[in-house]
Amino acid sequence: MRHGSFQLMKSVNKSNILNKIRTSEPISRAQIAKETNLTPPTVSSIVKELIDENLVTESKLGESNGGRKPTMLHINSSAFYVIGVDAGPETVECVLTDLAGIVFERASSKLILPITNEQFVANLIGNINKILQSSAIDREKIIGIGVAMHGVVDVETGTSLIAPNLHLRNIPIKAALEQEFNLPIKVENDARAMALGESWFGGHGELDSMVAINIGRGVGAGFVIDGKLYHGAQDIAGEIGHMTIDIHGEKCECGNRGCLQTFTSGEAIARRASKQLAEDSSSGKLTGKKVFDLAQNGELNAINILQETGEIIGIGLTNLIHLINPSKIVLGGGVMKSEKFILPAIEKTIEQRVLTPEAKGTVVVMTSLGDDATLLGAVSLFLVELFEEA
């Protein structure tokens, strides 16, 4: 066997063991060997390396099955830390977390439009500096900064190619942050980051495929297939907000007509509602949140608008199910805070429109990560790399 092949196999074995500990902790060496089909000596050798690298710790003895009580293994969550950034389009939010996604520090600020590339980058730097200055954690333990950015992102160069809601192009996020902080930087589309965060922290178990969809100011999705993000040939996989629903519909900010997000974003809901609701002008501009509040108070037109929104989202998800047939769809974002009115309509539409009885049962759930879903997704960009390349 060539040396390179042996090193690759060793790396894969190490990754498999580390992930088995992460997903099944506490777990014994014997159980790891049984569940990974690796020999006990191989498991013991790799576990020793992981303990020496401070990634794995041992705990009290487990239950005996007749022999000696086994020592149980855990991930050492405090071995390293990651800064996660949710960058726009209205605010910049930052967190510092450990390997378990426990948040230790937060910082945030609003984005004032219009804004230049330089001002946007300065806002990111300012919030990251707040995190670093307020934290007592050894900076040597911070392994990188993950940035979740709306719009089209060139993942290789870490450049925001198109940030439509900010009206910006070609923001060199990775280059600017690396120069400022001398840390590894990863930049990803926000919806894809959210999908990765869901697969990492969302408690969904081992799925062969999952889609996470963020519905708020815009509509974006991320596909996780066999634990990995799918980007597509030109890094635009997941832009389902620009799936055409009505070729004669409203003009979208992308230039096309009748895109899904022209019906289902928060602003789109408010626009539709303003045509149907006799809203008292004294209450100010109608927003998606105000439509939800009206629905909560029993306003039938508001309820109908949200239910119609759910039906339209359901049509989009039906198209998605027919295209990639995921095991699970996870929904998040500001619009889905109207879940009470929207989710039943989504489920009913899928039930009515999907082709096969089995696919009609596609699981559609709300994110369990709440408003931190995208932030934890930004963090997971580094956790995946750490666990895969360990």
48-62, 232-246, 249-263, 358-372: range with lowest mean pLDDT: 48-62
The pLDDT assigned to 9 comes to 55
The pLDDT assigned to 4 comes to 47
- Assigned domain for 290 exists: yes
HSE at residue 319, side-chain half, CA atoms within 13 A, is: 13
Size of the chain, expressed as the number of residues it contains: 390
Digit-coded pLDDT (tens) for 69-94:
778 999 999 999 999 999 978 899 99
- Assigned domain for 53 exists: yes
Structural contact between residues 257 and 250, judged by C-beta atoms closer than 8 angstroms? yes
Q: Which of 75, 93, 120 is the last residue of a domain?
A: 75
214 and 353 both lie in a single domain: yes
In this structure, what are the phi and psi dihedrals at residue 148, rounded to the nearest 5 degrees?
Answer: -100, 120
The pLDDT assigned to 390 comes to 47
CA distances from 102 to 272, 318, 353, 376 (A): 40, 35, 40, 9
Q: What SS3 string covers 86-148?
A: EECCCEEEEEEEECCCCEEEEEEEECCCCCCHHHHHHHHHHHHHHHHHHCCCCHHHEEEEEEE
The pLDDT assigned to 63 comes to 62
CA distances from 123 to 115, 128, 327 (A): 10, 9, 38
Digit-coded pLDDT (tens) for 164-220:
889 999 999 999 999 999 999 999 999 999 999 998 888 887 788 999 999 998 899
The pLDDT assigned to 192 comes to 93
Q: How far apart are the first and last CA of the chain?
A: 22
Q: Which of 58, 75, 92 is the last residue of a domain?
A: 75
58 and 87 both lie in a single domain: no
216 and 362 both lie in a single domain: yes
The pLDDT assigned to 222 comes to 94
Is residue 3's pLDDT more than 80? no
Residues 311-325, mean pLDDT to the nearest whole number: 96
Average pLDDT, the chain: 90
Residues 16-30, mean pLDDT to the nearest whole number: 89
Q: Which of 173, 196, 219 is the last residue of a domain?
A: 196
- Assigned domain for 103 exists: yes
Is residue 124's pLDDT more than 90? yes
- Assigned domain for 385 exists: no
255 and 326 both lie in a single domain: yes
In this structure, what are the phi and psi dihedrals at residue 301, rounded to the nearest 5 degrees?
Answer: -65, -40
What CATH number is attached to the domain comprising 122?
Answer: 3.30.420.40
**274-279-280-286 Cα dihedral, nearest 10 degrees:** -50
The pLDDT assigned to 282 comes to 42
What CATH number is attached to the domain comprising 42?
Answer: 1.10.10.10
Is residue 2's pLDDT more than 80? no
C-alpha angle 192-195-201 in degrees, rounded to nearest 5: 140
Give the domain extent around 162.
81-196
- Assigned domain for 221 exists: yes
109 and 236 both lie in a single domain: no
Is residue 269's pLDDT more than 60? yes
How many domains does the chain divide into? 3
The pLDDT assigned to 364 comes to 96
